Structure 1
Amino acid sequence: MKTSSLAAALVLGLTGTAAFAQATHSGWYVAPTASVVINDNDRAKSTGAGVGLAVGKMLNEKWNVEVGGQYLQLDGKNDEQGNIGVDGLYFFNRNPDFAPYALAGLAYAREGYSDSNKNDNLMARVGLGFTKQLTRNVDFRADARYQYHGNKAGSGSLGDWIVSAGLNIAFGGTPQAAAPAYVAPAYVAPVYVAPAPAPAPVAVMPAPAPEPAPYVAPKREPKQDRN
């Protein structure tokens, strides 16, 4: 019985945690970010900078999806890139203090030194990041992404690291806490109680028959002399 009670309490505790996480992280949000770019070795400069904006939606306790774009100045002067794409974010947990995630996505990228030298490429990206709740509707976010794409204007493909920080700002109303999941009471199997054994029969010995009275011969009268 104690084990069943402990299991029920554990389920209720986990359910409460999930409901709280959904209440603080669910719904639509907009995510402005600022970035530092660690450029591919083939670029003219080792670092650059950029800004980004995405719109995201929490799908369930584990997944978010984001659609957004970036504008990157890769050499601080002429080499620039714009991209727009979609990313899936997998959250390892929804702890408001620290919610780590992994991401993967695809994007369309346009890059070049001038309007006459721009080229279009498909981009793939993967990364790791985290969020931390600041207020009921605002989270801080940071992530590092490796973005890899073709290079029609040159030889070989290019891969850049994008380190970003920004905010997730919820909109569309304050999220409501999810109702706690119903937890059925633990089933306790009835315990069979055997009936008390019938008392053992007690042998009752019959009372002994009384001993017969000793035989007493009748007293004989003396014979009378008839003479």
Structure 2
Amino acid sequence: MKRNGLFALIALSLAGIGAAQAQDYSNWYIAPRVGAVIPDSDRETDTSLFTGIGIGYWSTPNFAVDFEVTHNNADFEKKSIRNNHEFENTGLGFAGRYFFGDAGSSWRPYAMGGLGFLRHAAISGSQLSASRSNGWDPMITVGGGVQHGFSDRLAFRAELAARYDRDNNSRQYYSAENKTGFVDAIASVALLVNFGGESAPEVAPTRETPPPQKPQISCRDLDDDKDGVNNCDDRCPGTEAGVQVGPDGCPMVQTIDLRGVNFKFDRPKKGEKNISPTLQEPTADSIAILDQAVDVLQRNPNMRVEVVGHTDSVGTDEYNQGLSERRARIVYDYLTSHGIDASRLSGPIGYGESRPIDTNDTKEGRARNRRTELEAQK
């Protein structure tokens, strides 16, 4: 694989990111990178340009796995002896990176380890035997680095690693030492572009305002069934006396669904109190749903509810449990800060992914399972 070919691969991958964003690839990213290979002194080669591209997946907020293709061409130092030939090194492998600190931090150090294979092939003027001029050899890579996030979609990664290459396809065929193992240093930088994420927030249905009545006899001044909801907003006229109703005049359901309250990925964080920064845009839609819930509870002072949170099945059980509890807690705090007495609220309780209301096998089903609810208590 020539250098120009790998550069073309990186360019084509970046060009396809826009199309990939429209799909349901949660937590996936692409990571083109560039740097330098500082070779083992026994190789007798010069420092060379290193390029690569990886497709990665965040299995948890602290661990990512990458499949990587790498490439470098190394010129030999003693060109008069080796007839000015060079070796192409093409690598295929997997690398795991464990990130320290909170997932919301802008700077995160990490440790990495990887396994794979390197193909060594003469690409110009080689005097090696035609039958032994190329081949695949195993490699092991360890190292570390730091990652800086610019936004939810874009991050920068700087890394220093050591690569052990059990190469028996290059130096041994022109050296009496017949060495088969080398340790090279690799310094590189990468640009991460995330092309996944949570599903787009659902838009709460809007309520159409009934046509206005005669100015002197407005329906907003009338409440024929005496349920506390004027005739304009009352969608269930004729409700029996004593029945608790919602803001639309219909009997109160057992669960107040807050599904339209959409949070950003992995928000709120531990200790986060202000709900607005944790909500997906437009935040006004989510705040309107919460304010409607506050209005329902204020209209029904005898009503008690349990504040619960749920997630879909993406991620570990432990991670989803904590996430559901944090979301239930921040909704609980929003209600109490807007005048709802804590004695009327139970919880907050998180059920993680244990109580789905739909399948987790589809994007739409997972979106319905990510919800916060107020369950009425007797």
Q: TM-score, normalised by structure 2?
A: 0.40
Alignment of 1:142-153 (within 5 A): 142-153=158-169
Query: Does residue 112 of structure 1 match 2:121?
Result: yes
| Residue 112 (structure 2) aligned to one of 103, 119, 128 | 103
1:74 is aligned to 74
Q: Per-residue deviation at 1:112?
A: 2.9
Q: Per-residue deviation at 1:95?
A: 4.8
Alignment of 1:20-31 (within 5 A): 27-31=27-31
Give the SS at the match of 2:54: strand
Q: Per-residue deviation at 1:150?
A: 1.0
Residues 41 and 177 (structure 1), Cα distance of their counterparts in 2 relative to 1, 3 Å cut = same
Is contact 1:137–1:174 with CA below 8 Å preserved after alignment? no
Is contact 1:40–1:46 with CA below 8 Å preserved after alignment? no
Is contact 1:103–1:128 with CA below 8 Å preserved after alignment? yes
Alignment of 1:1-227 (within 5 A): 27-75=27-75, 78-93=86-101, 94-114=103-123, 116=130, 117-153=133-169, 154=172, 155-173=179-197, 176-178=264-266, 180=268, 181=323, 182=325
Give the SS at the match of 2:41: coil
Give the unaligned 5+ runs of structure 2.
1-25, 77-84, 125-129, 173-178, 200-263, 269-322, 330-346, 349-378
Tell me the alpha carbon deviations over residues 54-79 of structure 1, each in whole angstroms, 9 at most, x when there is no partner: 00011112211000110112228612
Residues 49 and 174 (structure 1), Cα distance of their counterparts in 2 relative to 1, 3 Å cut = farther
What is the CA–CA distance in structure 1 between the aligned matches of 2:183 and 2:74, rounded to whole Å? 12
Is contact 2:55–2:68 with CA below 8 Å preserved after alignment? yes
Q: Per-residue deviation at 1:41?
A: 0.6
Which structure has the greater CA radius of gyration? 1
Is contact 2:117–2:139 with CA below 8 Å preserved after alignment? yes
Is contact 2:197–2:265 with CA below 8 Å preserved after alignment? no
Residues 63 and 83 (structure 1), Cα distance of their counterparts in 2 relative to 1, 3 Å cut = same
Q: Per-residue deviation at 1:172?
A: 3.0
Task: Say which is worse superposed, 56-65 or 70-79, in terms of deviation.
Answer: 70-79
Counterpart amino acid of residue 56 in structure 2: G
Residues 45 and 152 (structure 1), Cα distance of their counterparts in 2 relative to 1, 3 Å cut = closer
Q: Per-residue deviation at 1:114?
A: 3.8
2:287 is aligned to none
- Aligned residues: percent identity? 28
Aligned length: 161
Give the unaligned 5+ runs of structure 1.
1-25, 186-227
Q: Which has the higher strand share?
A: 1
Q: Per-residue deviation at 1:133?
A: 1.0
What is the CA–CA distance in structure 2 between the aligned matches of 1:84 and 1:124, rounded to whole Å? 11
Is contact 1:34–1:165 with CA below 8 Å preserved after alignment? yes
Higher relative contact order (CA 8 A, sep 6+): 1
2:354 is aligned to none
Q: Per-residue deviation at 1:35?
A: 1.4
Give the SS at the match of 1:42: helix
Q: TM-score, normalised by structure 1?
A: 0.64
Tell me the alpha carbon deviations over residues 33-60 of structure 1, each in whole angstroms, 9 at most, x when there is no partner: 0011101112232411121000001111
What is the CA–CA distance in structure 1 between the aligned matches of 2:89 and 2:192, rounded to whole Å? 24
Q: Per-residue deviation at 1:27?
A: 0.9
Give the SS at the match of 2:155: strand
Give the SS at the match of 1:151: coil
